[in-house]
Chains A and B, each alone.
Chain A
Protein backbone atom coordinates (compact mmCIF):
# COMPACT_ATOMS: atom_id res chain seq x y z
CA UNK A 1 0.00 0.00 0.00
CA UNK A 2 2.88 2.34 0.77
CA UNK A 3 4.27 2.02 -2.76
CA UNK A 4 1.60 0.22 -4.77
CA UNK A 5 -1.13 2.79 -4.05
CA UNK A 6 0.86 5.80 -5.27
CA UNK A 7 2.13 3.84 -8.30
CA UNK A 8 -1.44 2.92 -9.25
CA UNK A 9 -2.62 6.52 -8.89
CA UNK A 10 0.30 7.79 -10.97
CA UNK A 11 -0.58 5.27 -13.69
CA UNK A 12 -4.29 6.18 -13.62
CA UNK A 13 -3.73 9.94 -13.80
CA UNK A 14 -1.06 9.60 -16.50
CA UNK A 15 -3.15 7.31 -18.68
CA UNK A 16 -6.29 9.41 -18.13
CA UNK A 17 -4.52 12.52 -19.37
CA UNK A 18 -3.04 10.81 -22.43
CA UNK A 19 -6.32 9.29 -23.59
CA UNK A 20 -8.62 12.19 -22.81
CA UNK A 21 -6.46 14.42 -24.99
CA UNK A 22 -7.25 12.28 -28.02
CA UNK A 23 -10.95 11.79 -27.44
CA UNK A 24 -13.37 14.65 -28.12
CA UNK A 25 -16.26 12.75 -26.45
CA UNK A 26 -18.03 14.84 -23.81
CA UNK A 27 -17.39 12.27 -21.05
CA UNK A 28 -13.71 12.23 -21.93
CA UNK A 29 -13.57 16.02 -21.94
CA UNK A 30 -15.36 16.18 -18.59
CA UNK A 31 -12.81 13.73 -17.17
CA UNK A 32 -9.95 15.80 -18.64
CA UNK A 33 -11.29 18.97 -17.01
CA UNK A 34 -11.82 17.16 -13.71
CA UNK A 35 -8.24 15.84 -13.67
CA UNK A 36 -6.87 19.35 -14.32
CA UNK A 37 -9.10 20.63 -11.51
CA UNK A 38 -7.65 18.03 -9.16
CA UNK A 39 -4.14 19.08 -10.14
CA UNK A 40 -5.01 22.72 -9.45
CA UNK A 41 -6.40 21.93 -6.00
CA UNK A 42 -3.58 19.61 -4.90
CA UNK A 43 -0.67 21.83 -6.01
CA UNK A 44 -1.00 24.67 -3.42
CA UNK A 45 -0.60 22.15 -0.60
CA UNK A 46 2.90 21.31 -1.87
CA UNK A 47 4.02 24.58 -0.25
CA UNK A 48 3.97 22.67 3.06
CA UNK A 49 7.04 20.69 1.93
CA UNK A 50 9.10 23.80 1.21
CA UNK A 51 8.10 25.68 4.35
CA UNK A 52 8.56 22.71 6.69
CA UNK A 53 12.01 21.97 5.25
CA UNK A 54 13.09 25.61 5.64
CA UNK A 55 11.79 25.86 9.21
CA UNK A 56 13.41 22.55 10.17
CA UNK A 57 16.77 23.66 8.76
CA UNK A 58 16.77 26.91 10.72
CA UNK A 59 15.43 25.35 13.93
CA UNK A 60 18.31 22.85 13.75
CA UNK A 61 20.77 25.73 13.30
CA UNK A 62 19.40 27.53 16.36
CA UNK A 63 19.26 24.36 18.49
CA UNK A 64 22.82 23.32 17.65
CA UNK A 65 24.09 26.89 17.90
CA UNK A 66 25.96 26.46 14.61
CA UNK A 67 28.03 29.36 13.27
CA UNK A 68 25.89 32.47 12.61
CA UNK A 69 22.81 30.79 14.13
CA UNK A 70 21.50 34.17 15.27
CA UNK A 71 20.64 35.03 11.68
CA UNK A 72 18.15 32.16 11.59
CA UNK A 73 16.11 34.20 14.04
CA UNK A 74 16.03 36.99 11.45
CA UNK A 75 14.51 34.49 9.00
CA UNK A 76 11.77 33.64 11.51
CA UNK A 77 11.06 37.30 12.30
CA UNK A 78 10.79 38.20 8.60
CA UNK A 79 8.54 35.24 7.89
CA UNK A 80 6.37 35.82 10.97
CA UNK A 81 5.77 39.51 10.22
CA UNK A 82 4.73 38.74 6.64
CA UNK A 83 2.52 35.79 7.60
CA UNK A 84 0.87 37.39 10.63
CA UNK A 85 -0.16 40.45 8.64
CA UNK A 86 -0.59 38.82 5.23
CA UNK A 87 -2.76 35.85 6.10
CA UNK A 88 -5.56 37.74 7.91
CA UNK A 89 -5.44 40.90 5.76
CA UNK A 90 -4.35 39.52 2.37
CA UNK A 91 -1.51 40.39 0.00
CA UNK A 92 -3.07 43.74 -0.93
CA UNK A 93 -2.73 45.01 2.62
CA UNK A 94 -0.64 48.20 2.63
CA UNK A 95 1.95 46.87 5.12
CA UNK A 96 2.44 43.66 3.11
CA UNK A 97 2.82 45.68 -0.08
CA UNK A 98 5.24 48.07 1.63
CA UNK A 99 7.41 45.21 2.89
CA UNK A 100 7.29 43.54 -0.51
CA UNK A 101 8.18 46.70 -2.45
CA UNK A 102 10.82 48.07 -0.10
CA UNK A 103 12.39 44.96 1.39
CA UNK A 104 11.81 41.90 -0.77
CA UNK A 105 12.02 43.37 -4.28
CA UNK A 106 15.16 45.51 -3.78
CA UNK A 107 17.04 42.72 -2.02
CA UNK A 108 16.04 40.06 -4.55
CA UNK A 109 17.05 42.32 -7.44
CA UNK A 110 20.33 43.33 -5.78
CA UNK A 111 21.26 39.76 -4.85
CA UNK A 112 21.15 38.74 -8.51
CA UNK A 113 22.83 41.91 -9.73
CA UNK A 114 25.97 40.76 -7.86
CA UNK A 115 26.34 38.30 -10.72
CA UNK A 116 27.33 41.16 -13.04
CA UNK A 117 30.48 41.65 -10.96
CA UNK A 118 31.23 37.95 -10.72
CA UNK A 119 30.68 37.36 -14.43
CA UNK A 120 33.17 40.17 -15.17
CA UNK A 121 35.75 38.72 -12.82
CA UNK A 122 35.21 35.18 -14.17
CA UNK A 123 35.44 36.39 -17.76
CA UNK A 124 38.80 38.03 -17.06
CA UNK A 125 40.26 35.09 -15.15
CA UNK A 126 38.85 32.00 -16.84
CA UNK A 127 37.69 32.93 -20.36
CA UNK A 128 40.82 31.72 -22.22
CA UNK A 129 41.31 30.62 -25.82
CA UNK A 130 43.12 27.43 -24.78
CA UNK A 131 41.67 25.14 -27.45
CA UNK A 132 39.87 25.47 -30.78
CA UNK A 133 36.49 24.86 -29.11
CA UNK A 134 37.17 27.40 -26.36
CA UNK A 135 38.25 29.95 -28.98
CA UNK A 136 35.04 29.39 -30.91
CA UNK A 137 32.98 29.94 -27.77
CA UNK A 138 34.97 33.03 -26.83
CA UNK A 139 34.80 34.66 -30.28
CA UNK A 140 31.05 33.97 -30.57
CA UNK A 141 30.41 35.39 -27.11
CA UNK A 142 32.34 38.57 -27.96
CA UNK A 143 30.48 39.06 -31.26
CA UNK A 144 27.12 38.58 -29.52
CA UNK A 145 28.14 40.91 -26.68
CA UNK A 146 29.17 43.71 -29.00
CA UNK A 147 26.24 43.07 -31.35
CA UNK A 148 23.79 43.36 -28.45
CA UNK A 149 24.66 46.98 -27.71
CA UNK A 150 24.39 50.04 -29.97
CA UNK A 151 28.08 50.88 -29.62
CA UNK A 152 28.83 47.76 -31.69
CA UNK A 153 27.18 49.08 -34.84
CA UNK A 154 28.51 52.57 -34.15
CA UNK A 155 32.07 51.24 -34.04
CA UNK A 156 31.51 49.07 -37.11
CA UNK A 157 30.06 51.91 -39.18
CA UNK A 158 32.86 54.27 -38.10
CA UNK A 159 35.98 52.12 -38.00
CA UNK A 160 35.02 49.60 -40.68
CA UNK A 161 33.14 52.01 -42.94
CA UNK A 162 35.15 50.73 -45.94
CA UNK A 163 33.34 47.39 -45.72
CA UNK A 164 30.17 47.54 -47.86
CA UNK A 165 27.94 46.24 -45.05
CA UNK A 166 26.13 48.54 -42.67
CA UNK A 167 25.48 47.61 -39.00
CA UNK A 168 27.76 44.59 -39.28
CA UNK A 169 27.98 43.92 -35.52
CA UNK A 170 24.25 43.46 -34.97
CA UNK A 171 23.89 41.59 -38.28
CA UNK A 172 26.66 39.15 -37.28
CA UNK A 173 24.96 38.64 -33.90
CA UNK A 174 21.64 38.03 -35.60
CA UNK A 175 23.19 35.50 -38.02
CA UNK A 176 24.83 33.59 -35.17
CA UNK A 177 21.54 33.37 -33.27
CA UNK A 178 19.48 32.54 -36.38
CA UNK A 179 21.71 29.83 -37.87
CA UNK A 180 24.42 27.99 -35.88
CA UNK A 181 22.83 28.74 -32.49
CA UNK A 182 19.46 27.59 -33.79
CA UNK A 183 20.93 24.32 -35.13
CA UNK A 184 22.65 23.42 -31.86
CA UNK A 185 19.65 24.44 -29.72
CA UNK A 186 17.35 22.37 -31.90
CA UNK A 187 19.64 19.37 -31.40
CA UNK A 188 19.43 19.90 -27.64
CA UNK A 189 15.63 20.36 -27.75
CA UNK A 190 15.20 17.11 -29.72
CA UNK A 191 17.46 15.22 -27.32
CA UNK A 192 15.83 16.61 -24.19
CA UNK A 193 12.32 16.06 -25.53
CA UNK A 194 13.02 12.41 -26.39
CA UNK A 195 14.35 12.07 -22.84
CA UNK A 196 11.22 13.69 -21.36
CA UNK A 197 8.92 11.41 -23.33
CA UNK A 198 10.78 8.20 -22.49
CA UNK A 199 11.04 9.19 -18.82
CA UNK A 200 7.32 10.02 -18.72
CA UNK A 201 6.47 6.58 -20.15
CA UNK A 202 8.73 4.94 -17.55
CA UNK A 203 7.05 6.92 -14.75
CA UNK A 204 3.52 6.07 -15.86
CA UNK A 205 4.37 2.38 -16.23
CA UNK A 206 5.98 2.36 -12.78
CA UNK A 207 9.47 1.51 -14.06
CA UNK A 208 10.89 4.81 -12.78
CA UNK A 209 10.06 5.08 -9.08
CA UNK A 210 12.74 7.36 -7.67
CA UNK A 211 10.14 10.07 -6.93
CA UNK A 212 8.72 7.77 -4.21
CA UNK A 213 11.91 8.21 -2.22
CA UNK A 214 13.58 5.58 -0.07
CA UNK A 215 12.10 3.24 2.53
CA UNK A 216 9.38 0.63 2.05
Chain B
Protein backbone atom coordinates (compact mmCIF):
# COMPACT_ATOMS: atom_id res chain seq x y z
CA UNK B 1 0.00 0.00 0.00
CA UNK B 2 2.89 2.33 0.79
CA UNK B 3 4.53 1.77 -2.60
CA UNK B 4 1.17 2.19 -4.31
CA UNK B 5 0.78 5.50 -2.47
CA UNK B 6 4.22 6.66 -3.61
CA UNK B 7 3.32 5.80 -7.20
CA UNK B 8 0.02 7.67 -7.04
CA UNK B 9 1.74 10.69 -5.46
CA UNK B 10 4.48 10.60 -8.11
CA UNK B 11 2.08 10.33 -11.04
CA UNK B 12 0.01 13.21 -9.72
CA UNK B 13 3.21 15.21 -9.19
CA UNK B 14 4.17 14.60 -12.82
CA UNK B 15 0.64 15.55 -13.95
CA UNK B 16 1.11 18.93 -12.29
CA UNK B 17 4.62 19.42 -13.68
CA UNK B 18 3.22 18.77 -17.16
CA UNK B 19 1.80 22.31 -16.95
CA UNK B 20 5.35 23.60 -17.47
CA UNK B 21 5.07 22.45 -21.07
CA UNK B 22 1.55 23.81 -21.49
CA UNK B 23 -1.97 23.50 -20.09
CA UNK B 24 -3.26 19.95 -20.68
CA UNK B 25 -5.94 17.46 -19.49
CA UNK B 26 -3.57 15.69 -17.06
CA UNK B 27 -2.82 18.95 -15.28
CA UNK B 28 -6.50 19.97 -15.23
CA UNK B 29 -7.50 16.59 -13.80
CA UNK B 30 -4.89 16.78 -11.04
CA UNK B 31 -5.73 20.41 -10.26
CA UNK B 32 -9.45 19.72 -9.86
CA UNK B 33 -8.87 16.53 -7.89
CA UNK B 34 -6.64 18.52 -5.55
CA UNK B 35 -9.34 21.16 -5.03
CA UNK B 36 -11.98 18.50 -4.30
CA UNK B 37 -9.83 16.45 -1.92
CA UNK B 38 -8.49 19.46 -0.03
CA UNK B 39 -11.92 21.07 0.42
CA UNK B 40 -13.26 17.68 1.56
CA UNK B 41 -10.41 17.41 4.08
CA UNK B 42 -11.09 20.94 5.36
CA UNK B 43 -14.75 20.05 5.88
CA UNK B 44 -13.81 16.89 7.79
CA UNK B 45 -11.27 18.71 9.95
CA UNK B 46 -13.56 21.66 10.67
CA UNK B 47 -16.35 19.32 11.74
CA UNK B 48 -14.18 16.97 13.81
CA UNK B 49 -11.77 19.57 15.19
CA UNK B 50 -14.13 22.53 15.39
CA UNK B 51 -17.84 21.94 15.37
CA UNK B 52 -17.91 18.68 17.40
CA UNK B 53 -15.54 19.60 20.27
CA UNK B 54 -16.54 23.26 20.54
CA UNK B 55 -20.29 23.16 19.92
CA UNK B 56 -21.74 19.66 19.78
CA UNK B 57 -19.97 17.99 22.72
CA UNK B 58 -20.64 20.72 25.34
CA UNK B 59 -24.25 21.03 24.23
CA UNK B 60 -24.96 17.30 24.23
CA UNK B 61 -23.22 16.92 27.61
CA UNK B 62 -25.42 19.74 28.92
CA UNK B 63 -28.55 18.03 27.59
CA UNK B 64 -27.59 14.77 29.32
CA UNK B 65 -26.88 16.71 32.53
CA UNK B 66 -30.24 18.42 32.25
CA UNK B 67 -31.92 15.03 32.03
CA UNK B 68 -30.01 13.86 35.11
CA UNK B 69 -30.95 17.05 36.94
CA UNK B 70 -34.63 16.61 36.09
CA UNK B 71 -34.51 13.04 37.39
CA UNK B 72 -33.14 14.48 40.66
CA UNK B 73 -29.76 12.74 40.38
CA UNK B 74 -27.68 15.92 40.26
CA UNK B 75 -23.95 15.85 41.07
CA UNK B 76 -21.43 18.77 41.03
CA UNK B 77 -20.28 17.53 37.60
CA UNK B 78 -23.76 17.63 36.08
CA UNK B 79 -24.34 21.14 37.49
CA UNK B 80 -21.12 22.29 35.80
CA UNK B 81 -22.04 20.60 32.53
CA UNK B 82 -25.35 22.49 32.59
CA UNK B 83 -23.49 25.72 31.77
CA UNK B 84 -23.03 24.21 28.30
CA UNK B 85 -26.69 25.03 27.65
CA UNK B 86 -25.71 28.69 27.23
CA UNK B 87 -23.71 27.67 24.18
CA UNK B 88 -27.03 27.41 22.37
CA UNK B 89 -26.78 31.21 21.75
CA UNK B 90 -23.43 31.26 19.87
CA UNK B 91 -24.41 28.00 18.12
CA UNK B 92 -27.67 29.64 17.01
CA UNK B 93 -25.74 32.66 15.70
CA UNK B 94 -23.26 30.35 13.95
CA UNK B 95 -26.13 28.48 12.29
CA UNK B 96 -27.16 31.78 10.67
CA UNK B 97 -24.27 31.21 8.22
CA UNK B 98 -26.60 28.67 6.58
CA UNK B 99 -28.86 31.59 5.62
CA UNK B 100 -26.44 31.96 2.71
CA UNK B 101 -28.36 29.08 1.11
CA UNK B 102 -31.52 31.19 0.82
CA UNK B 103 -31.20 34.38 -1.27
CA UNK B 104 -34.09 36.02 0.59
CA UNK B 105 -32.70 35.31 4.05
CA UNK B 106 -29.02 35.76 3.16
CA UNK B 107 -28.88 39.05 5.09
CA UNK B 108 -28.97 37.02 8.33
CA UNK B 109 -25.31 36.04 7.87
CA UNK B 110 -24.51 39.66 8.73
CA UNK B 111 -25.06 38.77 12.40
CA UNK B 112 -22.25 36.20 12.81
CA UNK B 113 -19.98 38.21 10.52
CA UNK B 114 -20.62 41.39 12.54
CA UNK B 115 -19.77 39.59 15.77
CA UNK B 116 -16.52 38.18 14.37
CA UNK B 117 -15.55 41.55 12.86
CA UNK B 118 -16.36 43.34 16.12
CA UNK B 119 -14.34 40.72 17.99
CA UNK B 120 -11.29 41.14 15.77
CA UNK B 121 -11.50 44.94 15.86
CA UNK B 122 -11.91 45.13 19.62
CA UNK B 123 -9.06 42.78 20.35
CA UNK B 124 -6.78 44.48 17.81
CA UNK B 125 -6.90 48.06 19.09
CA UNK B 126 -5.00 47.77 22.40
CA UNK B 127 -2.74 44.89 21.36
CA UNK B 128 -1.64 46.22 17.98
CA UNK B 129 -1.04 49.60 19.60
CA UNK B 130 1.31 48.01 22.13
CA UNK B 131 2.99 45.34 20.00
CA UNK B 132 3.44 47.22 16.77
CA UNK B 133 3.46 50.95 17.60
CA UNK B 134 4.92 51.27 21.10
CA UNK B 135 7.31 48.31 20.95
CA UNK B 136 8.61 49.21 17.48
CA UNK B 137 9.12 52.85 18.43
CA UNK B 138 10.79 51.74 21.64
CA UNK B 139 13.04 49.40 19.64
CA UNK B 140 14.15 52.30 17.46
CA UNK B 141 14.85 54.70 20.31
CA UNK B 142 16.41 52.37 22.90
CA UNK B 143 19.78 52.11 21.10
CA UNK B 144 20.10 55.90 21.31
CA UNK B 145 19.73 55.72 25.09
CA UNK B 146 22.38 52.98 25.18
CA UNK B 147 24.56 55.16 22.97
CA UNK B 148 24.24 57.97 25.46
CA UNK B 149 25.24 55.58 28.24
CA UNK B 150 28.34 54.69 26.20
CA UNK B 151 27.58 50.97 26.08
CA UNK B 152 27.58 50.45 22.32
CA UNK B 153 30.21 49.52 19.77
CA UNK B 154 30.86 51.74 16.73
CA UNK B 155 29.18 49.17 14.46
CA UNK B 156 26.03 49.19 16.57
CA UNK B 157 25.99 53.00 16.72
CA UNK B 158 26.20 53.25 12.91
CA UNK B 159 23.47 50.60 12.62
CA UNK B 160 21.16 52.40 15.06
CA UNK B 161 21.64 55.75 13.27
CA UNK B 162 21.01 54.09 9.92
CA UNK B 163 17.81 52.46 11.22
CA UNK B 164 16.64 55.80 12.65
CA UNK B 165 17.27 57.64 9.37
CA UNK B 166 15.74 54.83 7.32
CA UNK B 167 12.60 54.68 9.46
CA UNK B 168 12.03 58.45 9.37
CA UNK B 169 12.59 58.63 5.61
CA UNK B 170 10.29 55.63 4.97
CA UNK B 171 7.56 57.22 7.06
CA UNK B 172 8.03 60.52 5.21
CA UNK B 173 7.61 58.65 1.92
CA UNK B 174 4.26 57.29 3.18
CA UNK B 175 3.17 60.74 4.44
CA UNK B 176 1.06 62.19 1.65
CA UNK B 177 -0.38 65.21 3.47
CA UNK B 178 2.67 67.27 2.46
CA UNK B 179 3.83 67.66 -1.12
CA UNK B 180 7.05 65.73 -1.76
CA UNK B 181 9.18 68.71 -2.83
CA UNK B 182 12.40 70.27 -1.56
CA UNK B 183 13.85 68.66 1.60
CA UNK B 184 10.73 66.49 2.04
CA UNK B 185 11.17 65.25 -1.53
CA UNK B 186 14.81 64.36 -0.88
CA UNK B 187 14.01 62.57 2.37
CA UNK B 188 11.19 60.65 0.69
CA UNK B 189 13.64 59.61 -2.07
CA UNK B 190 15.94 58.20 0.62
CA UNK B 191 12.85 56.44 1.99
CA UNK B 192 12.25 54.86 -1.42
CA UNK B 193 15.86 53.65 -1.47
CA UNK B 194 15.38 51.95 1.90
CA UNK B 195 12.13 50.39 0.71
CA UNK B 196 13.84 49.06 -2.43
CA UNK B 197 16.54 47.45 -0.31
CA UNK B 198 13.79 45.91 1.84
CA UNK B 199 11.93 44.59 -1.19
CA UNK B 200 15.18 43.30 -2.70
CA UNK B 201 15.90 41.39 0.52
CA UNK B 202 12.36 39.98 0.43
CA UNK B 203 12.81 38.91 -3.19
CA UNK B 204 16.16 37.25 -2.47
CA UNK B 205 14.63 35.29 0.39
CA UNK B 206 11.52 34.44 -1.65
CA UNK B 207 13.75 32.85 -4.27
CA UNK B 208 15.21 30.62 -1.55
CA UNK B 209 11.68 29.67 -0.46
CA UNK B 210 10.45 28.81 -3.94
CA UNK B 211 13.61 26.88 -4.79
CA UNK B 212 13.19 24.93 -1.55
CA UNK B 213 9.75 23.75 -2.69
CA UNK B 214 11.18 22.47 -5.96
CA UNK B 215 14.11 20.75 -4.24
CA UNK B 216 11.67 19.03 -1.88
CA UNK B 217 9.57 17.65 -4.74
CA UNK B 218 12.61 16.63 -6.78
CA UNK B 219 13.96 14.83 -3.72
CA UNK B 220 10.66 12.96 -3.44
CA UNK B 221 10.66 11.91 -7.11
CA UNK B 222 14.32 10.84 -7.15
CA UNK B 223 14.71 9.29 -3.71
CA UNK B 224 11.23 7.96 -2.92
CA UNK B 225 9.70 7.18 -6.32
CA UNK B 226 12.75 6.11 -8.31
CA UNK B 227 13.88 4.37 -5.11
CA UNK B 228 10.96 1.96 -5.54
CA UNK B 229 12.20 1.07 -9.05
CA UNK B 230 15.99 0.97 -8.75
Contact = CB atoms under 8 A, between A and B. Distances in A.
B222 interface: no
Contact of B40 (A81, A134, A201): A81
B74 interface: no
Contacts of A71: 28-29, 31-32
Contacts of B210: 112-113, 115-116, 119
B201 A204 contact: no
Nearest to B14: A110
Contact of A103 (B1, B8, B112, B165): B8
Contact of B13 (A14, A110, A145, A180): A110
B225 to A, nearest CB: 10
Interface stretch (B65-73, B114-122, B144-152): B114-122
A160 interface: no
B170 A187 contact: yes
Interface string A144-170: 110111000000000000000000000
Contacts of A59: none
**Which label, helix, strand, loop or mixed, suits the secondary structure of the B interface?**
helix
B41 A193 contact: no
B196 A106 contact: no
**Which label, helix, strand, loop or mixed, suits the secondary structure of the A interface?**
helix
Interface string A102-128: 111111111111111101000100000
B201 A41 contact: no
A14 to B, nearest CB: 4
Contact of B41 (A91, A144, A148, A187): A91
B192 interface: yes
Interface size class of B (residues with CB under 8 A): 35 or more
Contacts of A192: 132
A21 interface: yes
Contact of B110 (A18, A76, A213): A213
B98 interface: yes
Contacts of A90: 44, 48
B9 interface: yes
Contacts of B46: 44, 47
Contact of B197 (A3, A18, A136): A136
A194 B133 contact: yes
Contact of A47 (B43, B116, B137): B43
Contact of B19 (A114, A176, A215): A114
Contacts of B13: 106-107, 110
Interface of A: 2-3, 5-7, 9-18, 21-22, 35, 37-52, 54, 68, 71-72, 74-83, 86-87, 90-91, 96, 98-117, 119, 123, 133-134, 136-145, 147-149, 173, 176-194, 196-197, 199-201, 203-204, 211-213, 215
Given A6-B113, A114-B19, 5 more contacts: A22-B126, A46-B112, A74-B33, A100-B41, A119-B210
29 contacts: A2-B107, A2-B110, A3-B110, A10-B115, A10-B121, A12-B118, A14-B122, A37-B87, A37-B90, A41-B54, A46-B112, A47-B42, A78-B35, A79-B39, A83-B44, A104-B38, A105-B9, A108-B34, A110-B12, A113-B216, A137-B197, A140-B197, A144-B201, A187-B167, A187-B191, A187-B195, A190-B136, A196-B128, A200-B120
Interface of B: 1, 5-6, 8-10, 12-13, 16-17, 19-20, 28-51, 54-55, 87, 89-91, 93-98, 100-101, 107, 109-129, 132-133, 136-137, 139-140, 159, 162-167, 170-171, 173-174, 191-208, 210-211, 213-214, 216-217, 220
